[in-house]
Structures are given as C-alpha cells and as structure tokens.
Chain A
C-alpha cells in the first residue's frame, strides 16, 4: 500500500470513529429502505451496529477480517432464513458506501477521498462475501434435502413372512437404484426372505437405463438366493419395454402388486382360499 493510501486509510478510520453515530444512522436508514421495510427495524439496526463495530476493528487493526466475515456470514444466513434474496443482503452491505460518501462529500479533503476509495473496495469484497455465503448455505440445504428424499423415497416393506416389497415412486436414476438395491438386499438378509416384489407402479417412465438397473437388482438378489418379481407394469410401459427391445429373460413380471403377491404366496407355499361365507382363509400348504 502506498503512503497516500495509508494516510487515506488512517483518515477514514478517524472519520468513521468520530462520526460513528451519523454514519450508522444513515446506513440503517438506507439499508432499511433497500429491504423495503420488510425487516424489523430494531433487529436490523442491532445487526448493522455489530457489523460496524467489527468493521472499525478491522480498519483500525488492519488486515484481520475474520471477525467481520463471521458476522457477515451470520447476517447473510439470518437474512436468507427470513426470506430475503441474496441481492438484497448484498445491497444492505453496499449501502454503507453511500452512507460514508455523505460524510466525505461535505468536506473538501483529498486524503479522505483516497480513504473512501480504499473503503469502497473493501466493502465490495464484503458484499460479494455475503453473496457467496448465501449461495453455499443454499446449496447445502439442497444437497441435504436430496439425501433425505432419497432415504424417504425407498422403503422396503414386509408383505408376508418371507416376502418383501419395494414400492418405487418417482423417477429412477443410477444413484437411487443403487440405494434401492442395497436396501432391498440388506432387507433380504435381515429378514431371511426368499421372495421380493419390486413394484414400479409409481415410476413414470421406463427407459433402457432404468430397465438395466432393475435387471441388476434382480440378478443381485438371485445371487443371494432370493427371487424377485417385478410388478406394476402399466400398459404403456409394457409397450415401451417391448418397443425398446429390452429382454427381461426369465424374470417374472406381473401387472399388479396383487398378482405379484398371489404369485409369491403360492411360490412360498401359502394357500389362500375363499370360503362360502366370503371370509378369506389363509393356510400353509403342507410341503
């Protein structure tokens, strides 16, 4: 930094300290106008006051901006949670420039002007920093939600002793199929089930990739000693599969989950009969 710049910086420090109340008041007014009166005035004033103190410290001691950045990150996060856009948060920071400019304008002081230019550059950096914090906080929320969704959307349910079902809802991609496959296989081991039904009623479209994933899951289950049935194939999906020329080989497919359940029950030796008085009776076949 040049001698001129240093002098300017010192002058700015003096000015900011001397006229603290004036600048702060103007900043709070300007910032309040930027966010359109949506913010609670006293809360905003409190936050800006803290930031201002940190800024004074930063300018006075020169260099270490970690406190200031921490406060700004906090401010950015709070604003984000209250529904402000990142642009509005950055505008709050930028409005400090205007507040300080009012101070310089009244005096005919070249040194102070140099100091102002230096300060403006710092404020630009800080404004961008709040923007960055906002974006990274938002990204973290999105990835967390995606993970939670993945967990929520793939339940493995027990239909009967030795029969598991995986009702799939929503689009299947590689990552999701991997989770489904792992959960299904884990479920087979834990419950000692020899039959599983993969129900794709809720899957909007089946392309070659999805079919490939399903086939992999079925083959993996077979390697472990369990049989899979794929159910819930809607007419148009059956049409697509045939048109694409996908071979399901000897994998059993059923139109509805009910059909698949009936099939797996029969396979595991459970007999379901209907009595004359229409009560359904379930019994185990003697094997």
Chain B
C-alpha cells in the first residue's frame, strides 16, 4: 500500500500526488492530512496534482472532500498544477470542484495563501 506523503513547509502543508490513487490510499491520505493539520496547526493545504494525468469522478470528489475537511479545521485548500486535459475531463464530467480554490502552479499557490493573510502574522511595513 502506497502512502501519499504530507510535507510541512512553515505553516503550510503540501501534498504532492504522484501515484495512481486507490480508494484505500485516498482514505489514508484524508486521515493523515486531518491529523497533520491539527498537529502542525497549519493554515493552508496545497494539493499538487501536476503528475496526475487521469481523473475520474472519484478523484474529483476526493478533492472536494479534502477541502471540506481542511475547512472544518480552519485551513484553506488550494489545488495546484491541474493539467489542461484533466480540467477538460472534470468539466465534461460536470464537476466544478465547488469550494476548492485553484492555482496554476505550486509557486502561485503558495503566494495565494500568503496573500490571503493568516499565514504570516508578521506585520508588513508600509
């Protein structure tokens, strides 16, 4: 059973999905992530799906579920690196991933979370 690692970067958590997701590993990822959010008091979660080439409704639902779980624990979820083909497939499937924010790549995702505030409680000098 392959586990998807949850990486901590400052007060962000980064999940990079690089394997074919099975039902079991998705459930484990959800548990691991919920634990990690509580443990590290993270304010943001970034899910990187750059390496995901094939999606189905199951993966679409997984992303929504993770976003909901994170929101319950007061962390914002951003999905980054979605490929064009994946985006088209999700649209054709009628999944618009309501409640999930997206960014083009990891860099922009991190910038977006920082900008949202809360991530950095340091006062920015004018």
Contact = CB atoms under 8 A, between A and B. Distances in A.
A223 B96 contact: yes
Interface string B39-75: 0000000000000000000000000000000000000
For this complex, into which size category does the number of interface residues on chain B fall?
20 to 34
Interface string A176-203: 0000011001101100111000000000
A224 interface: yes
Interface string B70-85: 0000000001101111
21 contacts: A182-B84, A185-B87, A186-B84, A188-B84, A192-B108, A193-B104, A194-B104, A194-B108, A219-B91, A220-B87, A220-B90, A221-B87, A223-B82, A223-B86, A223-B90, A225-B79, A225-B82, A225-B101, A225-B109, A226-B104, A287-B115
B103 interface: yes
Contact of B88 (A189, A220, A222, A287): A220
Contacts of A223: 82, 86-87, 90-91, 96-97, 102
Given A219-B91, A220-B90, A225 B80 contact: yes
Band of interface residues on A: 10 to 19
A220 B91 contact: yes
Given A216-B88, A216-B92, 8 more contacts: A182-B85, A188-B84, A192-B104, A223-B87, A223-B97, A224-B102, A225-B101, A225-B104
Contact of B108 (A185, A225, A287): A225
B96 A219 contact: yes
Given A223-B96, A225-B82, A182 B104 contact: no
A287 B80 CA distance: 22
Contact of A222 (B86, B102, B109, B115): B102
Contacts of B83: 189, 224
A186 B108 CA distance: 17
Interface string A220-243: 111111100000000000000000
Given A182-B84, A185-B84, A224-B84, A192 B105 contact: yes
Nearest to A189: B84
Nearest to A216: B91
Contacts of B103: 225
Of the candidates A185, A225, A226, A287, the one having the most CB atoms from chain B within 10 angstroms of its own CB is A225
Interface string B81-125: 011111110111000110001111100110000010000000000
Nearest to B112: A225
A216 B82 CA distance: 16
Contacts of B104: 188-189, 192-194, 224-226
Nearest to B50: A189
